Amino acid sequence: MPLNHRMIKDNKKIYVPSGYQFSVAAAGIKYKDRPDMALIYSEREAVVAGTFTSNRVKAAPVVLDIKRVRSGTGRAIVINSGNANACTGHRGMIDAETICRDISKRLNIPEKSILIASTGVIGTPLPMERVQWGLEDLSRETASTGIEDVARAIMTTDKFPKVSSRMIKTGRTEAILSGVAKGAGMISPDMATMLCFLLTDLAIEKKALKRALKEATERTFNLITVDGDMSTNDTILIMANGAAGNRPLTENSSGYKKFRETLFDLTDEFSRMIVRDGEGATRLIIIRLRGARNYPDAKKAAFSVAKSPLVKTAIYGRDANWGRIMAALGYSGALVREDSVDISINGINLVRGGLGRGKDVAASETLRHNNEVTIDINLNIGTGVERVYTCDLTEEYIRINAAYRT
């Protein structure tokens, strides 16, 4: 069958999997004159899986979705921006269930097959009268909206919509994996503060889909940080509706490895997008750490550097201040031997065996001309390796968050 695709900004081709419809609505929940609600609808029952925030304080939509994804199937996802429906007590859960019940009646599908996500201000009840207007519009416009419109509707402080896709060929079957995401602030691991919705027309068994999503999340979204804060609403959902017509993939299928690799590639791209769009950020920073005693130490050390306000502000100031990196390694909790550490920035070796090499000026110069910064660290102790994405910290981050509710 012909592949559906659209062209968006920068002539990027976005492929859309078969069997899905999209709609958006401007309900005025927080933002005026822009879509702030979205609907993703599968024309047939889809296999679904999800991963969610590990924050003990969970928004009502997260609590509801955790229960519903256990069935492993679903038909629709309804999303709103501008209001998190978090810390809203019993009313928040009633409102989430009401939204799902309304959509189920309008689309004539089971209520339990509808998933929900919200993002925005915490602690304020949803303006349900406006939400009801939005739901009416969502159910009318499912044939006229593109997936990129969904990406725009779920934005909050994001500077650009996050949408991408991949083609997958398994045997004779050509299929598509596409998705949308949002996130710019309150980004911290387990999970990152974000929403992400992934769609494919491949047929995949429930167990295999759940495993693939969990692995991709661990290796991408759980390895990013903007500000070290963790949200109440983090949600990743994936739907596989089987419209491509292949025999359902299992963990032992020859095409399953290809699917896992493609899913990782797509979620890695979204991870980069989210960090690059960090609130007020001007630089994407890639921390590549190796030579740790073991994997847990590698992760601790990499995140210690990635979360350090002093490292992040130094990068913003175009100052290759490797002393701040060394200090962050020292308090990370990982085993570190000062006289074994090597550090490079953008390929320029600043530190060897724990001692500076007098190349700070050259490294600082590279920071002036690159919006992507790579910090390579070798602890020279063992075989532990990890990579973390972060960004610089600027005055704009403070301005955005100081004025978030005003």
Q: Which residue has the higher pLDDT, 405 or 186?
A: 405
Q: Is 226's pLDDT higher than 80?
A: no
Q: Quote the DSSP letter at residue 247.
A: P
pLDDT at 53: 86
Average pLDDT over residues 343-363: 97
Give the model's confidence band at 2: pLDDT under 50 very low, under 70 low, under 90 confident, else very high.
very low
Q: What's the count of helices (H) and strands (E) in the chain, helices before strands?
A: 11, 16
Average pLDDT over residues 28-43: 92
Whole-angstrom Cα distance, residue 66 to residue 49?
10
pLDDT at 7: 43
**Residue 114, beta-bridge partner list:** 76
Mean pLDDT of the chain: 90
Query: Could you tell me which of 98, 220, 80 has the C-alpha nearest to residue 150?
Result: 80
Q: Is 204's pLDDT higher than 60?
A: yes
Per CATH, the homologous superfamily of domain 4-273 is: L-amino peptidase D-ALA esterase/amidase (3.60.70.12)
Pairing of β 284-292 and β 372-378: parallel
Average pLDDT over residues 249-254: 95
Q: Is 275's pLDDT higher than 80?
A: yes
**Residue 37, beta-bridge partner list:** 25, 80
Query: Could you tell me which of 360, 260, 273 has the C-alpha nearest to residue 319?
Result: 360
Q: What is the 3-state secondary structure (H, E, C) of 366-388?
A: HHCCCCEEEEEEECCCCCEEEEE
Average pLDDT over residues 124-150: 87
- Whether the upstream peptide bond of residue 167 has omega within 30° of 0, thus cis, is no
Reduce the DSSP state of residue 272 to 3 states and report it: helix
pLDDT at 278: 78
Q: What is the 3-state secondary structure (H, E, C) of 97-136?
A: HHHHHHHHHHHCCCHHHEEEEEEEECCCCCCHHHHHHHHH
Q: Which two tokens mark 246?
A: 């292949």
Q: Which two tokens mark 309?
A: 């306000």
Q: Is 55:234 a contact under the CB 8 Å cutoff? A: yes
Q: For the whole model, what pTM was predicted?
A: 0.90
Q: Which residue has the higher pLDDT, 341 or 158?
A: 341
Q: What's the CATH code, domain 284-402?
A: 3.10.20.340
Query: Could you tell me which of 273, 281, 326, 282 has the C-alpha nearest to residue 304?
Result: 326
Catalytic residue among 145, 156, 193, 217: 193
pLDDT at 229: 53
Whole-angstrom Cα distance, residue 289 to residue 387?
6
pLDDT at 281: 84
Give the model's confidence band at 121: pLDDT under 50 very low, under 70 low, under 90 confident, else very high.
confident
Say which residue the tokens 């969502």 belong to. 138
**Residue 78, beta-bridge partner list:** 39, 116
pLDDT in tens, 236-247: 999 999 999 999
- Please say if 193 is a catalytic residue: yes
pLDDT at 190: 45
- Please enumerate in sequence order all residues whose Cβ is within 8 A of that of 396, keeping only pairs 6 or more positions apart, or say none: 279, 280
pLDDT at 141: 61
pLDDT in tens, 298-328: 999 999 999 999 999 999 999 999 999 999 9
Query: Could you tell me which of 114, 123, 122, 275 has the C-alpha nearest to residue 194?
Result: 275
Give the model's confidence band at 1: pLDDT under 50 very low, under 70 low, under 90 confident, else very high.
very low
Domain chopping of the chain, boundaries? 4-273, 284-402
Query: Could you tell me which of 376, 224, 348 has the C-alpha nearest to residue 287?
Result: 376
Question: Where does residue 129 rank: exposed (0-12), middle (13-18), buried (19+ CB within 10 A)?
Answer: exposed
Average pLDDT over residues 268-275: 93
Percent of the chain clearing pLDDT 90 (strictly above): 76
pLDDT at 308: 95
